[in-house]
A and B are shown apart, each in its own frame.
Chain A
Amino acid sequence: MTLVVDSVRAELAALAGPSQVLTDPAACAGLAVDGKVPDCAVAPAKAEQVAAVLRYAGEHHLAVIARGNGTKLSIGNPPRRYDIALSLRELNRVIHYEPADLTISVEPGITFGEFQDLVGRDGLWLPLDPRGGAAASLGGIIAANAAGPLRQGLGGPRDMVLGLKIATTDGKIAKTGGRVVKNVAGYDLGKLLTGSFGTLGVIVEASLKLFPKPPERATFTVQAGTLGIARDLRRRILRSPLDTLRLVLLDSPATALLGDSAEARERPGAELWIEVGGSHRVIERCMFELRHLASAVGAPLARREEAEEAWEHISNLAHWLRQKYRDLTVLKAALPVAASEEFLSRAQQEAEAERIALASFAQVGVGIVHLCALQGTLSASLAGLVARLRQAAVDLGGRLVIEHCPVDLKSGVDVWGAGCDDLAAMRKMKSVWDPTEVLAPGRFVGSI
């Protein structure tokens, strides 16, 4: 076995340069996915080298998992095979940037933090707050279609990708889309790759649409107390003329977790967090309207200064809570917008029955609910809870995905849930891109 691994390393060194290949076993262990440790790791500095590594892996029946900074690798089923970790961190150049056109082309390894700093100097931003935060790589954000609560305002990665260059498993680099903001030439494979979790090809360049940053942003919170009042308020806000950037409902346990004061921890209740952006006048108007809407449901409104840290926690839940709760499980339900509060209430009941502490963060404007099971629990009761919550999501017209959990839970549950009637088409799509199952085999929906 060692001989085989040695030859793989030698080949990778020949393809990407010796300094780009990682052989240290301890370092490789740090690149484990769901407990599976790769034999070696390679970090090519050029797109062509990525393609060459993929071709080599395909020819030798080796499995590759691409990674940026690894902030979202807990999403997915355990890999069937995993031989080579393909790090894209060295592929991190800015290829083309024209602030006046609001477009940029970058390599996938650039971190979100570096990226926002760069375009921020020109008053621009990519209006995302993805899981992984500043440490997330742009390639990973696209591969996971990682949209946080900011999707409420201006959409997710899917809406911002203008074009991609993709290294394919036959060792080639294919392009889709382009650099201009409007383009319908050819199949829109950028949409297909966005959210494909590195199972079709490896993104080696992305062209993105940028947005002007709002001159000011402000955060307001409303102590709704109950989910019923929160639902009433959410309806009023969504029907009002206000355009919110973020709209997140915290249930009582979540409010207590995030609570920055003793009072919040002691007497928690459901709380709605609202962010708006615009000129000073616009923010004043938003505050006026929100106060009016909040008082209509009998709840007090507060303006929160320095809310950035709280927003970072909310948008990067797994990272934040994992520091405190080692056996954290994060579930994501995607629901029709109107079902969010009902789902939260069902989740609370189910968790109480299982005596599992559950904190919920719901992007109520887009129907995305994150449930965090905090305590280390027996997998059996957790698996039972997941199954019932998944059923609750389906009953309400939605779906539920396990985004983070103890590895042993994954052995008995498909993290994505059952496939739909387009699963066969998805499998066929996989076979076009990756017929020999080089890329993250087994990790995606339907064990693709």
Chain B
Amino acid sequence: MKSNGLSKELARIVGEDGVLWRGEDLMLYEYDALSSMRQPDIVVFPRNTEHVVQIVKLALRHNLLLVARGAGTGLSGGSVATEGGILLVFSRMKQILEIDLENQRARVQPGVVNLDLSLAVADEGYYYAPDPSSQKACTIGGNLAENSGGPHTLAYGVTTNHVLGLEVVLPDGEVIHTGASHWDRPGYDLTGVFVGSEGTLGIVTEATVRLSRKPEAVKTLLAIYNQVVGATRTVAAITARGITPAALEMMDGFTLRAVEEATHAGYPMDCAAVLLIEVEGLKEAVEDHADEIEAVCRENLAREVRRAKSAEERDLLWKGRKTAFGALGRITPNYYVQDGVIPRTRLPEMLEFIGSVEKKYELHIGNIFHAGDGNLHPLILYDERDREQTARVVKAAKDIIMRCVEMGGSITGEHGVGLEKSDLMPLIFSEVDLDLMGRIKTLFNPQGRLNPGKLLPTGKMCGELRGGLTGGGAL
């Protein structure tokens, strides 16, 4: 079907102002934070569930591909229409439908920006716990699709641990409601399957999520090290003391210098690594834990342990951490970020390995880790115009991910498989595992029209990273 006819049909559903079809408009939607791929054939902005149902039925009639998209901040290519088709953008479905504090829950449309939900309940002393670094821009719908994490998921869990129920439009236009607004609805936990399914099983049009009560006290510590190994050893040592910090982040010296130049957060310019550690809870618990953590840091040769003295200081430290990708983006034309996971006790070994990869391929790698749960974000700097260098980046990234797998880890901790790592899935899943996932996908999405080419291997490039490595998103 020609885009012209399609745009008219879609306009009948959502109105003239709800459809984009001109090339210059579509350009804005050809990429996410992974890379620039391909334009969708048409972009449509539904305003409610009924719009989504009608669009889905239209696509069914004309056998068109469908890709759902929130803010496009994803790091694995999940929201790019890599094979064309209709791109459903949820930026006009951004209402918080209900806030119910006594039941500690909210009902939201998928286009609600993550941070906006926390801000809406902040005055009452509540927040929405999953906090991806892109939380100022990314949407709850995108978070649900990717099962997003964030620094504070160490203590509180990722998106899936905070979702009670979903409204989902299936590819045949049927609307179902999974889960409930309470715990333990009898039946299969389809909510748990849809969350993290990367838009390949259905399109979420509403979610009931849990709200958490803000802690009484928060302490933020910055431990500064002259040697990286001291920082990595501290991570396991804190766990061994029976302390679960709310967040435990690591940045290496190279990254820090870029961050400091960009944000002036007060990070030291001359160290090898820092740990950004946060403890939350009752005042007494926080004081005890902060003292104990400081002692552990010093035992592991931290040269200095600072404590944020005010909310402003704390915010500044976190701003530095959460904008670190962007800070590195200032000093390199492109970067490629990995999302591997390893058992946290293997961090010292892993850091050494990444150092050797850096040397072997003559590249610069900045290390930003959710160290507490062993989730690595090595950022490999490069210039896409240099094809030979880009080839080395691909090899280095592959070496690092292979090492994660060898250590018993995962290829993705929070960014999702998407387009980027779909062909790496056989590294951690057998044919039997993948076949089962394939059958579940076929069950909901029999013609494969929903977000094609994502999550499961395409079979064309087994064991390879995909995505063209032209990334450089700001978050």
Contact = CB atoms under 8 A, between A and B. Distances in A.
B196 interface: yes
B239 A102 contact: yes
Interface string B440-461: 1101100000000001000000
Interface stretch (B6-14, B176-184, B330-338): B176-184
Contact of A367 (B183, B189, B284): B183
B443 A336 contact: no
A185 B412 contact: yes
Nearest to B155: A154
Interface string B262-286: 0000000000000000000111110
Interface residues of A, number: 86
A132 B46 CA distance: 49
A318 to B, nearest CB: 16
A100 B372 CA distance: 12
Contacts of A195: 184, 188-189
A180 B342 contact: yes
Contacts of A189: 193, 436-437, 440
Interface in A278-330: 278-279, 281-282, 284-286
A200 to B, nearest CB: 8
Given A159-B157, A213-B242, A285-B284, A183 B176 contact: no
Nearest to A194: B189
Contacts of B181: 336, 397
B443 A399 contact: no
Interface in B406-464: 408-417, 421, 425, 428-430, 432-434, 436-437, 439-441, 443-444, 455
Contact of B417 (A180, A186, A192, A417): A186
A32 interface: no
Most buried by B among A186, A211, A335: A186
Identify the interface centre among B180, B189, B409: most chain A CB within 10 Å of its CB.
B189
A147 B183 CA distance: 11
Interface of A: 98, 100-103, 123, 145, 147, 151, 155-156, 158-159, 168, 172-176, 178-192, 194-196, 200, 211-213, 215, 235, 238-239, 241-243, 278-279, 281-282, 284-286, 332, 334-338, 366-368, 397-399, 401, 416-417, 419-426, 428-432, 444-446
Interface of B: 100, 102-105, 125, 146-147, 149, 153, 157-158, 160-161, 170, 175-178, 180-193, 195-197, 201, 213, 215-216, 236, 239-240, 242-244, 281-285, 288, 341-345, 370, 373-375, 408-417, 421, 425, 428-430, 432-434, 436-437, 439-441, 443-444, 455
22 contacts: A100-B240, A181-B344, A182-B149, A182-B153, A182-B341, A182-B370, A182-B375, A183-B341, A184-B412, A188-B160, A188-B195, A191-B189, A212-B242, A235-B102, A241-B215, A243-B281, A278-B284, A337-B182, A399-B184, A399-B186, A420-B187, A445-B187
Given A191-B192, A337-B104, A367-B103, 13 more contacts: A176-B433, A181-B374, A182-B149, A186-B429, A187-B440, A188-B192, A192-B193, A212-B242, A239-B125, A243-B281, A278-B284, A366-B183, A422-B177
